[in-house]
Structure 1
Amino acid sequence: MAGIERSSALTDLARRGFSDLGEAEALLTELEELLGLPRDELVADAATAADPDAALTAIARVARRRAEPVRVTLHEPQGRRVVWALLGASQGFADFYLRHPEELRDLIHAGGSLPGDDELRDALTEAVHVTDGFAADGGEAAWVALRVGYRRMLARIAAFDLLHPSPVDVVPLVSMRLADAAGAALDASLAVARTRVSGGATGAGLFPREEVAAVRLAIIGMGKAGARELNYVSDVDVIFVSEVADGTDITESRGIDIATRLAVQTMRGVSGAEIEPPLWEVDANLRPEGKQGALVRTLGSHLSYYDRWAKSWEFQALLKARPLAGDLALGEQYVAAVQPKVWTSGARENFVDNVQRMRERVTDNIPARDVPFQLKLGPGGIRDIEFTVQLLQLVHGLSDEGIRARGTLVALDALVAEGYIGRADAAAFSRDYRVLRLLEHRLQLRGLSRTHLMPEKPEDLRTLARSSGLAESGPAVWELWESVKREVRDIHVRLFYRPLLSAVAALPEDGRVLSTAQAHDRLAAIGFADPVGALRHIAALTTGLSRKSTIQRHLMPVMIRWFADGVDPDYGLLAFRRISERLGSTPWFLRMLRDSSAAAESLTRVLSGSRYIGELMEWIPESVAWLDSDESLQPRSGLALQAEARAIQSRHTDLDDAMKSVRALRRRELLRTAMSGIVGVVTIEQVAEALTTITDVTIQATLRAVWRDIVPPEDAAMDFAVIAMGRFGGRELGFGSDADILYVYRANGVDAQRAAELSLKVVAGLRRLSEDHRVPLDLDADLRPEGRNGPLARSLDAYAEYYRRWSLSWEAQALLRARGVAGSVKLITAFLELADDVRYPASVDQQGLREIKRIKARVESERLPQGADPARHLKLGPGSLSDVEWLVQLIQLQHGHDVPGLRTTSTIQALRAAQEAGIVSADAADRLQEAWRLSSRLRSANTLLSGQTSDVLPVDRRRLDGIGRLLGYEPRSATQVEEDYFAASRRARRVFEKLFYG
């Protein structure tokens, strides 16, 4: 019988939500004895607890320490209901009542309503016994009393929140009271501070009581505290403003000294380490000059700073400023003075950058593993909603006072009322915001600690589901969180970007919320330098009833956002319009835009990030399809390109027609390589290899065509070859690189004069037919013997004779990169055998090495463009490409005969061979390679960004930032790009000077 009764009791406990039934049974038995209350009465409200086991454990712990307050509270129905709800949701409050069991009695009257602002302030001033702005005691006991009183009122707020039938609906009201409680705590702490600074009853303070009383100190709430949308445990952002009361002879400097002491003590009373734990962090870092600035300033000093020195983000931070505590009249003066500056910040030149920086701060410093759990800062989180609403306010608030509100939800209602967003979207956004804030509140209540991370453990998710009332189970609350994240991201696009179409295209009535002027402001705010042009392009893309226009209307809001995130939104949108017009209603294009968001996003990225790509894509619009498949973006092999080039030439009998098709092949493959590099499908080494292969195939195809056209059958016995030199020979081409080459022929029985004439005609044909106005191919033969003064083509014998008798050290150095590209294989082999004797000599000519060093020094001083900053020249500057390449080539000349690994045209392979041979240390090799690779990448990115070749690292910050973005840096990393290059080149230069000149 006893077994049946126990089984029934355990079943009842399970029904009430207990998990550890054995432990719960034992604790209840203990409580019956400790409290003298029947079990049925003890557990009557256990089901209201989010975690009944935790609540029961907390009750037992407090009862063991002091049973009477527990018995009295649990005997009252309302008290019992509140205790189970509060302790079942908050281990933090369980610890509080363990420290202060008598405080439980206050819960008997809690839960029915929220305490008002006046009640909160009265309760906390009474806790520290305030009279005329001074607390009765300035000791640690006053701070303890303040913190206990604050938590007593916080428990009343939490009780109302937890027991409300629809807690998601009262989130704004609860947040408002939490902000009011914070203001009350600061007021009470300021009263204690006045007593401490003046010495209280002892009179042993730093300043006389009458002077302290004459100093006015206003505490301005910022952020959530200012907007009255505070969390249970959140940093409270403040700014301190002080003035000396009229009619006193206290100097301004002495007044500031007193106010600073008061501010420090006020913050300590709330945040300092004492017997009773701190309430929350008081953060004054939003003050002028941040941590480096004065903690307290006069109103005049604040205004002077804002007029002369403040950045736009500081005005934007002031959007939520509100008098929170202290001298409220002075606080109102401060807010009234700064508010006009807030709403004119959108007209500042750097507004776009500041808005984008605000947006980046959303995810700054979030550990990667925390991103999926971040309620506040992660994608689709609280900050996304707040950012969207604030951005809309800043864009349109300059001309519309109706949307100038502090709170997020209040501002959202104002934006609806003024017609900036549709009611349905605003309602969904409001609901999502309240859901996210409710989840955040429950998580912070759990430990009375600052957190914004969703729990990972199933039991913690279950508690969250029960305490929030948002879901029946842990998995269900997680599913709700995921759905809210998705909707927030989607609504952000609809709220901010979709209304832009209302200014230019026919949308449903609910969407027509922006005038053209307002759309102009929005586009300017997100980074478009030419909003008028952007609106024109949007109109062209979305106006009409065709299927194409319909798809573009659906997609354009998202694409505008992607373009805005890019390097050059204006060019990206223009290029997209042109490509769309070229492709017309091509089914695959519209299908890709509609069905592949990844491809569409990649398209906006490459178009806004590279004029080089955009201009080529206009000529080859079908290349858009490659973005739908990484495989399509992979550079094609040399064999495949050779086969295609031969097929082209077999189809065309006309030389110019054949070469037009070969040039088209080259453009197409350059575009493919550029796109694959930007989207990250290939590495910088693979890009260089692909560019070299494309150039090889182009020269080979051109030589075949020219040979067929110029050399008659009776002279076909002669041989002709093209030798790659420089970075082309090393297979290290970048975008915009010249192709350094030599031309060599062998008569093979053809009259020597005739062979020379035919060779020059072939060279002329090669140069003419390889010209491309779209992407120039410069066949540069300046590395030939005697340089520009020597003949363009020489016979193999002439080369042999020249190198034997007349060649200079720099010509042996140039031959280190020689590689056969096109023409007679036998002739190429013979030429390279000749070159080997020159570039890998058995004995080193020391005089020649000294000459190379002298030439290098002259190059550094004479070849730099006039006015160029040497430190920014990626090819000729200190520590740049030329330093690394000249050093490696010097090593090859010295050791290439004895070290086979050095006999390569590749700079990096030769460098690593030198390291393996012990000629260069591993550290030195790493530094040289780092500088060489970064210089190469920066040169290519410079060309891709602007569509123009340049060897100089730009000074323009926007362009430098664009280069950084192409290299994978975060937005607005111009300074970081510079610093990384300067550091790498500086380190490489030190190695170069030690090894080259040493």
Structure 2
Amino acid sequence: MSTGARSSALTGLARLGFGNLGDADRLLSELAELTGRQRPELLLSAELAADPDGALGALVRIARRDADAVRDALANAAATVWRLLGASSGFAEFYLRHPRELDDLTGAGGGLPSTQELRSELLDAVGADAEGFAQTGDESAWVALRVRYRRMLARIAAFDLSVPDAVDVLAPVAAALADAAGAALEASLCVARTRVAGGSVGAGLFPHAHVMGTQLAIIGMGKTGARELNYVSDVDVIFVGGADQSIIEDVGESRAIDIATRLAVQTMRGISGIEIEPPLWEVDANLRPEGKQGALVRSLESHLSYYDRWAKSWEFQALLKARPIAGDRALGDAYVAAVQPKIWMSAARENFVDSVQRMRERVTEHIPPADVPYQLKLGPGGIRDIEFTVQLLQLVHGLGDPSIHQRGTLDALEALVDAGYIGRADAAVFARDYRVLRVLEHRMQLRGLQRTHLMPTTPDGLRVLARASGLAETGPAVWELWEAVKREVREVHVRLFYRPLLSAVAALPADEQQLSQGQAADRLAAIGFRDPAGALRHIGAITGGLSRKATIQRHLMPVMIRWFADGVDPDYGLLAYRRISERLGNTPWFLRMLRDSSGAAERLTRVLSGSRYVGELMEWIPESVAWLDSDEQLRPRRGVLLQEEARAIQARHETVIDAMRSVRVLRRRELLRLGLAGLLGTATIEEIAEGLTTVSEVTIQATLRAVRREIVPPEDAALDFSVIAMGRFGGRELGFGSDADILYVYDANGIDPQRANALALQIVAGLRTHSEDHRVPFDLDADLRPEGRTGPMVRSLESYAAYYRRWSLSWEAQALLRARGVAGSVTLNRAFMALADEVRYPANVDPNGLREIKRIKARVENERLPQGADRARHLKLGPGGLSDVEWLVQLLQHAHAHDIPTLRTTSTIGALNAARDAGLVPDAAADYLAEAWRLASRLRSANTLLSGQTSDILPTDRGKLDGIGRLLEYPPRSATRVEEEWMRTARRARRAFEKLFYG
């Protein structure tokens, strides 16, 4: 192939979505040789693959075993083959084991297999007869079952991947998966009967007649019972045993249960045991009475006796979704019918709602901290939040309202709306987000045909997920979607899950369904508490008893309740106050200060009811309450003092882990101090930005010193390493919740280059690991490095110089405009800044580079807004937002800073003022741009302080807008004013931006 033809071929592969073009070109040639087909023919429908490289690699591996199977599959079902193998390396492994199974993909994707088709196919795989016995009981039956199951699973996946919108077909796809699981258990039970009765293996364990007369019902629980199963999930079951009367009379009920237990064990082994063909999924029977310690199989009577006497509240919640899925249908139906009244009576138990809430909280607490940001199912804002909320509402209201007795989450949501227990808006959000989360979960599990609920952590994994799900165009976009859904779900979950009527209704007698409020609750509701019952509990806990502490609290509480009610979120404020009071216990200065200093008490109620961010930090650092009595304690601390403290910490601790634990405490403490200063007005927005930047610098510097001490041996001490601040960090413009954009650079200084690079990578890894703080996240974001996320994480100074001088793109020069050395070698920092100056302040500006910056800005506006976000409300990327001001300033700096030294600053406002002074920006335009930049920065920080979560979007919720306004010192009920002021300010800034940037 000529050079030109090869270049054209590689370009074509890139257009189809291939990433590793050299390998793809080589593999495609090998596939063409193996199958005897031309390259263009082989690539038909390749663009449909979420991971074309992975699909092509799979096809070549399979073709090496059976080229005819691959050739026929691509000839007859190319679109299905590319979709399936591009979304699932797990199916690639399946077809590598069984190439001829590719034949079944012809015609797949046109529709879902029916319940009856799934059952017939899987029973046929084991040769089941009319009496429920398999043709053989040896391992070959299980292998045949597993292969046939995966064939049917592939048909389901082919349909799922072929539809324009997977969200729309989630319910039928999940139902088909549940039906397939039920059919597989039925087929495995047939094999189990043959094995237990002797069959072809000659075991002769029990007489054939006794096995025939034994009843075993398999009850599907969880997602299986609700017909909303995942591709790869534990299938939760409960086994119910019984027997014909003749068998009981012959051998006794206990013998029948023994037979049923052996059947259950063999059924589970057929699905989950280690055989030649890998297991399908785990059959999980731990929801049975007494869990793992309980009998695997019980009679119906034994089950009911347990539920009457011993069952806990969560067990009735689990039974909500119970459904017969295999085995004796009459016994299964009898079991479900018998437990139904017990399910709906469970909400009348004492402390039922609290116990369910605590169970949900325990699930969250047991997630490994490192997994929390990625946990799609169990984490805050995940699938389980929706399911728990819906189930709790069903249980609380289901006793008197049979209309909400639904198994499926989506069906239950619809029923709860129809009955008036959930507002249509909240239900619509939950339904949409539930489908989105489940589609993401499905695609993640399809990838390796493995059980997982963790979002991908790599750019490549996110890219494949985005393409496979069809929910986003790029990896970053699918992550932004996940973050947006998570925030939305958590917000609705908290509002519904803890709303006051739940506990009140659950505590009522069964024959009384009218909610009754006492006078105290009425008063609390009238003055602004959304949860008067909860508020009463908190007040009782704080003021109860005969101690001196309780007496003082009783005197303080009437006044403090009023102050809480005047705040943004009185419920949270009171809750946080209770927790802080309990943490401080009988500490004498705490109550004395609140009693003797009304200013401190009022400040405390103000910050706790006005900011979850501050409230949570104060719960972790309760001694910070003492700061509220002194303005000096509420001022940002100087960097030199923080540096001295950080160095003293390192001197006290020998290991990096111990040192960083104390450094994290230092950082949290200073973040809290700055949050309080912002809330109480003891520091300006500029001082807070400076303070947040200083805290980040000190944290990085301390981390680098600790990590370097741990990693770099004395013989390599000549190695220089530095951290360069970028973005808002470099501009000393951080807000609450901002990431720290950085670059990593090293200088070998005579050390072997490979050794130096390896040490630098270890330092970077150590920095990223030991700077993590799961309580107050601290993200070191290196995405502004050369080549972005695909580039090396760390480079030598020489490598940066070579890259910038030869390959640097306009956006990379633009990113360097806010570069500033913040940690590590002073000499190396200076050398890097000198290099940066050459790139960011060029003597001769390339007009094409300026045009490219403008083009990228337009593209960012169109592509990076979160899906469904209102452009006008996006404080960063929306019109007149931070991005407009910063890109304009940076364009002017790049074009003119070589000739105008005052433009050489990393500060956005500083550079804007310099541009005004140089006549590059008119006075009025500079005022509009500066006003918009400052207001957007304040709104972002206020939003984070209010909610404790980082967001670039101005909320639409009136309560949140009012809360943000209060933090910005607007009067109460200023939601409309906040919104209108931002829109007006942003419009003026946008007009100025468009005239100067594109004009």
With the length of structure 2 as denominator, give the TM-score of the two structures. Answer: 0.57
Residue in 1 that maps onto 2:180: 181
Residue in 2 that maps onto 1:112: 110
Residue in 1 that maps onto 2:568: 593
Secondary structure at the counterpart of residue 378 of structure 1: coil
User: Which AA in structure 2 matches 1:93?
Assistant: F
Report the aligned-residue RMSD.
Answer: 3.6
Residue in 1 that maps onto 2:53: 53
The question of whether the paired residues in 2 share the 8 Å contact of 1:189 and 1:266 is answered with: yes
The question of whether the paired residues in 2 share the 8 Å contact of 1:438 and 1:468 is answered with: yes
Aligned residues: 607
Q: Distance in 1 between matches of 2:60 and 2:535?
A: 57
Residue in 1 that maps onto 2:604: 626
Q: Distance in 2 between matches of 1:456 and 1:214?
A: 53
Q: CA deviation at 1:221?
A: 0.7
Secondary structure at the counterpart of residue 217 of structure 1: strand
Residue in 2 that maps onto 1:95: 93
Superposition map of 1:194-209 within 5 A: 194-201=193-200, 203-209=202-208
User: Which AA in structure 1 matches 2:31?
Assistant: L
Residue in 2 that maps onto 1:130: 128
Alignment of 1:461 with 2:438, yes or no, is: no
Q: Distance in 1 between matches of 2:146 and 2:236?
A: 19
Residue in 1 that maps onto 2:24: 24
Change (3 A) 1:209 1:477: same
User: Which AA in structure 1 matches 2:267?
Assistant: T
User: Which AA in structure 1 matches 2:192?
Assistant: A
User: Could you say which structure has the larger radius of gyration?
Assistant: 1
Secondary structure at the counterpart of residue 19 of structure 1: coil
Change (3 A) 1:607 1:361: same
The question of whether the paired residues in 2 share the 8 Å contact of 1:566 and 1:609 is answered with: no
The question of whether the paired residues in 2 share the 8 Å contact of 1:563 and 1:608 is answered with: no
Q: Distance in 2 between matches of 1:36 and 1:243?
A: 60
Secondary structure at the counterpart of residue 158 of structure 1: helix
Q: Distance in 1 between matches of 2:86 and 2:538?
A: 45
Q: Distance in 2 between matches of 1:129 and 1:605?
A: 64
Secondary structure at the counterpart of residue 419 of structure 1: coil
Superposition map of 1:740-751 within 5 A: none
Residue in 2 that maps onto 1:582: 559
Alignment of 1:269 with 2:273, yes or no, is: no
User: Which AA in structure 1 matches 2:231?
Assistant: Y
Q: CA deviation at 1:592?
A: 5.0
Alignment of 1:494 with 2:471, yes or no, is: no
Q: Distance in 2 between matches of 1:480 and 1:443?
A: 15
Superposition map of 1:360-371 within 5 A: 360-371=361-372
Listed one character per residue, the Cα deviations across residues 63-118 of structure 1 (whole Å, up to 9, x for unaligned) are 01101111111001xx1111111111111100000000000010112111001111
Residue in 2 that maps onto 1:904: none
User: Which AA in structure 2 matches 1:582?
Assistant: V
The question of whether the paired residues in 2 share the 8 Å contact of 1:92 and 1:447 is answered with: yes
Q: CA deviation at 1:454?
A: 0.6
Superposition map of 1:975-994 within 5 A: none
Q: CA deviation at 1:227?
A: 1.1
Change (3 A) 1:607 1:524: farther
Listed one character per residue, the Cα deviations across residues 833-860 of structure 1 (whole Å, up to 9, x for unaligned) are xxxxxxxxxxxxxxxxxxxxxxxxxxxx
The question of whether the paired residues in 2 share the 8 Å contact of 1:363 and 1:378 is answered with: yes
Listed one character per residue, the Cα deviations across residues 212-240 of structure 1 (whole Å, up to 9, x for unaligned) are 11111100111111111111111111111
Alignment of 1:520 with 2:504, yes or no, is: yes
The question of whether the paired residues in 1 share the 8 Å contact of 2:580 and 2:622 is answered with: no
More displaced stretch, 218-227 vs 486-495: 486-495
Q: CA deviation at 1:360?
A: 2.5
Q: CA deviation at 1:418?
A: 0.5
The question of whether the paired residues in 1 share the 8 Å contact of 2:560 and 2:602 is answered with: no
Superposition map of 1:356-755 within 5 A: 356-497=357-498, 500=500, 520-521=504-505, 536-543=519-526, 549=527, 552=528, 556=530, 568=541, 582=559, 592-593=567-568, 602-606=576-580, 622=599, 623-626=601-604, 628=607, 634=624
Listed one character per residue, the Cα deviations across residues 183-231 of structure 1 (whole Å, up to 9, x for unaligned) are 0000000000001111114654201111111111100111111111111
Residue in 2 that maps onto 1:968: none
Change (3 A) 1:480 1:34: same
Secondary structure at the counterpart of residue 480 of structure 2: helix
Listed one character per residue, the Cα deviations across residues 222-276 of structure 1 (whole Å, up to 9, x for unaligned) are 1111111111111111111111124443421211111111000000000000000
Q: CA deviation at 1:521?
A: 1.0
Change (3 A) 1:215 1:625: same
Change (3 A) 1:540 1:15: same
Q: CA deviation at 1:466?
A: 0.4
Listed one character per residue, the Cα deviations across residues 762-785 of structure 1 (whole Å, up to 9, x for unaligned) are xxxxxxxxxxxxxxxxxxxxxxxx
Q: Distance in 2 between matches of 1:233 and 1:348?
A: 35
Change (3 A) 1:590 1:340: closer
Residue in 2 that maps onto 1:158: 157
The question of whether the paired residues in 1 share the 8 Å contact of 2:235 and 2:284 is answered with: yes
User: Which AA in structure 1 matches 2:424?
Assistant: R
Superposition map of 1:294-373 within 5 A: 294-373=295-374
Residue in 1 that maps onto 2:148: 149
User: Which AA in structure 2 matches 1:22?
Assistant: G
Q: Distance in 2 between matches of 1:609 and 1:140?
A: 60
Q: Distance in 2 between matches of 1:380 and 1:565?
A: 26
The question of whether the paired residues in 1 share the 8 Å contact of 2:543 and 2:554 is answered with: no
Q: CA deviation at 1:399?
A: 1.3
Change (3 A) 1:133 1:636: closer
Change (3 A) 1:531 1:597: closer
The question of whether the paired residues in 2 share the 8 Å contact of 1:606 and 1:614 is answered with: no
Q: Percent identity?
A: 60
Secondary structure at the counterpart of residue 238 of structure 1: strand
Secondary structure at the counterpart of residue 165 of structure 2: coil
The question of whether the paired residues in 2 share the 8 Å contact of 1:111 and 1:157 is answered with: yes
Residue in 1 that maps onto 2:241: 242
Residue in 1 that maps onto 2:991: none
Q: Distance in 1 between matches of 2:482 and 2:21?
A: 30
Change (3 A) 1:444 1:209: same
Secondary structure at the counterpart of residue 106 of structure 2: helix
Superposition map of 1:161-172 within 5 A: 161-172=160-171
Residue in 2 that maps onto 1:68: 68
Residue in 2 that maps onto 1:962: none
Residue in 2 that maps onto 1:191: 190
Change (3 A) 1:616 1:261: farther
Q: Distance in 1 between matches of 2:199 and 2:114?
A: 30
Change (3 A) 1:146 1:681: same
Residue in 1 that maps onto 2:81: 83
Change (3 A) 1:389 1:564: farther
Q: Distance in 2 between matches of 1:256 and 1:581?
A: 63
Q: Distance in 1 between matches of 2:537 and 2:434?
A: 25
Change (3 A) 1:243 1:519: closer
